[in-house]
Amino acid sequence: MRIAILEDDEPQQRLLSSWLADAGHEAHLFATGKAMRETLRREAFDLLILDWNVPDCAGIDVLRWAREHLDWAIPVLFTTVRNDETDLISALKAGADDYLCKPLKRGETLARIEAVMRRVLPEMQADKCLHFAPYTFDLQNRQVSLDDAEIRLTNTEFQLALALFRNQGRLLSRNYLMETIWGISSDIPTRRVDTYISRLRNKLDIRPNRGWCLSAVYHHGYRLELVSDNH
């Protein structure tokens, strides 16, 4: 997963980054709320980890901003030295999905992350097939069918298509797709994502009369949306 961390303490940053890297996640670090908000306007993440107190604002203010301004309900995990019940209630009411008190423990932190993602994305559990009519994804055999007819996709095309359908309605930035599909973390301009998106649109025949619209958002990325219930 691609995870954004708001934390101004450098030792804590290094610790979280190490834990997440060992678990196969990509960590992006922010020391101020302003820096995180600026990035969230143009980049996509699977999870936010917010410290309650950073130099320029409170983590709960970043949470409220995200819930108000972003077009997708990103899961949020709070980390803080504050353990008063009123703080916990405030964070949950503002839209936090879970809350961890410092000092953090590696096993508990990773387990809470997994638990949050299971609740937010239940389809990512042990399902063998996912249905997005008229498309069916066979996760075990890594195949896609359109109206019960198999569409031949490469492994990379399958991963990209699955990411788009699992995140329907959500704007996925090119950098997000580069990291999650190709494992490349780079700001160097590339047409790779655009080429694969064009190929997928043609192979899967993604268009409104099939109930789906795959659109480019200038300078940002791509969004797949359900536009009808005809199928």
Averaged pLDDT for residues 204-213: 95
User: Cβ distance 36 to 4 under 8 Å?
Assistant: yes
Sign of the torsion formed by the C-alpha atoms of 85, 88, 90 and 93 = negative
Beta carbons within 8 Å of 206's beta carbon, 6+ residues apart: 200, 212, 213, 214, 224
The answer, yes or no, to whether residue 141 has pLDDT greater than 80, is yes
Q: pLDDT by residue (tens digit) across 113-139?
A: 999 888 776 555 556 889 999 999 998
User: Into which CATH architecture does domain 2-122 fall?
Assistant: 3-Layer(aba) Sandwich (3.40)
The answer, yes or no, to whether residue 189 has pLDDT greater than 80, is no
- In the chain, % helix, strand, coil (3-state, to 5) comes to 40, 25, 35
The answer, yes or no, to whether residue 140 has pLDDT greater than 90, is no
For 129-226, CATH number out of 3.10.110.10, 3.30.420.130, 1.10.10.10, 3.40.47.10 equals 1.10.10.10
Q: pLDDT by residue (tens digit) across 26-36?
A: 999 999 999 99
pLDDT band, very low/low/confident/very high, at 231 (cuts 50, 70, 90): very low
Q: pLDDT by residue (tens digit) across 30-83?
A: 999 999 999 998 888 999 999 988 889 888 999 999 988 876 678 999 988 877
The answer, yes or no, to whether residue 206 has pLDDT greater than 80, is yes
User: Cβ distance 21 to 2 under 8 Å?
Assistant: no
Domain boundaries, the chain: 2-122, 129-226
